[in-house]
Amino acid sequence: MDSTRTTARRVLREYGETYTHEAGIQLRNTPAPLYQLLVLCVLLSAPIRAATAVAAARELFAVGLRTPRSMAGSEWQDRVDALGRAHYRRYDESTATALGDGAQLLLERWHGDLRNVRDEAGGDLVRVRELLQEVPRIGPTGADIFCREVQAVWPELRPFVDGRVRGAASGLGLPRTPKALAALVPPREFVRLADGLVRVSLTPDAADRLRGA
């Protein structure tokens, strides 16, 4: 087995938990889990630790805010309180507002179903990213996170990598191009590899340790 495949397998083994799995989202191509992924992307879009954003998503889901209708119908203070329990500080009030406004937009424009975003975009990655950025708090980074995760159930977007994945891959001597990187692992494992590379980039000394193995 060549060195790049060996490195990719180590990334999978040591860092290959997806952020959707960590947040308790059982990702499927159905409205509720796709919306939960969007919520996670909103939370990850703030300049805050990823672990805190994931914990905040779990708190919101734990109080039943798992669909755009439940989010839009919730009290602003209840959203603030859930975020606070996860120590999602400084951005709790603005994020609570963004979540409510985004849920209302999703209901009104796309009937609460993010598959309609994909359909409006004709499955085109660039257009999907543009449409996602109409959601409050979702910018280029949030759109990239969504596409990186959702390719597990939207295969027409696969293989997708963002700048953070490419940077981490390059630092480990792995290919930077999506197709070459995807060729290192079975298709069903590619999202785990991409997220694993993100985790490597966020973990001090991880890249040095993997390179030195």
For residue 207, the model assigns a pLDDT of 85
Instruction: Enumerate residues 6+ apart whose C-beta is below 8 A from 77.
Output: 96
Task: Name the residue with higher pLDDT: 1 or 72.
Answer: 72
Q: What totals of helices (H) and strands (E) does the chain contain, helices first? A: 14, 0
pLDDT tens column, 166-207: 999 999 999 999 999 999 999 999 999 999 999 999 998 888
pLDDT band at 1 (very low <50, low <70, confident <90, very high): very low
pLDDT band at 213 (very low <50, low <70, confident <90, very high): low
Give the residue from 139, 116, 117 showing the smallest Cα distance to 44: 139
Q: Which residue has the tokens 């499927």?
A: 28
The answer to whether 41 and 35 are in contact (CB under 8 A) is: no
Average pLDDT, the chain: 96
